[in-house]
Amino acid sequence: MELYVRSESVVSRVVAGETLIVPISKGVGDLASIYSLNQVGTTIWEAVATPCSRSGIVQRIEQEFEGERWEIERDVESFLMELQSAGLVRSLGAASPL
């Protein structure tokens, strides 16, 4: 099972109820690349504050929002790929079985 976690090269803040993410390069925030997340995106961002599996993220979304499981799974996978592509989230690879 693959785990996802926030990149160490970003900072995030909640401003006026909106989650903002700023990539950091060489100790300076890249203000041209600020990301703003909606409520679902914020829930995913909160989930990856510590290593979390895709299925764990899907469960959190199912508990907080309405939607068909297949749609949630599809959207979570797509959003995680976007976050990875932007360098905001990284994959830790497969987790060790318990």
In tens, the pLDDT along 12-58 reads 988 887 899 988 866 555 556 789 999 999 999 999 999 999 999 99
CATH number at residue 44: 3.90.930
Q: 22 versus 79: which is more confidently predicted?
A: 79
Any domain includes 55: yes
Is the pLDDT at 9 greater than 80? The verdict is yes
Q: How many structural domains is the chain composed of?
A: 1
Any domain includes 19: yes
Any domain includes 34: yes
By the 8 A CB rule, do 85 and 33 touch? no
The stretches of 1-98 forming alpha helices (DSSP H) are 39-47, 54-64, 69-85
Structural domain including 18 reads 2-87
Any domain includes 57: yes
Question: CA 78 to CA 40: how far, in whole Å?
Answer: 13
Any domain includes 45: yes
Any domain includes 16: yes
Residue 27, pLDDT score: 58
pTM of structure: 0.84
Confidence of residue 98 (pLDDT cuts 50, 70, 90): very low
Any domain includes 97: no
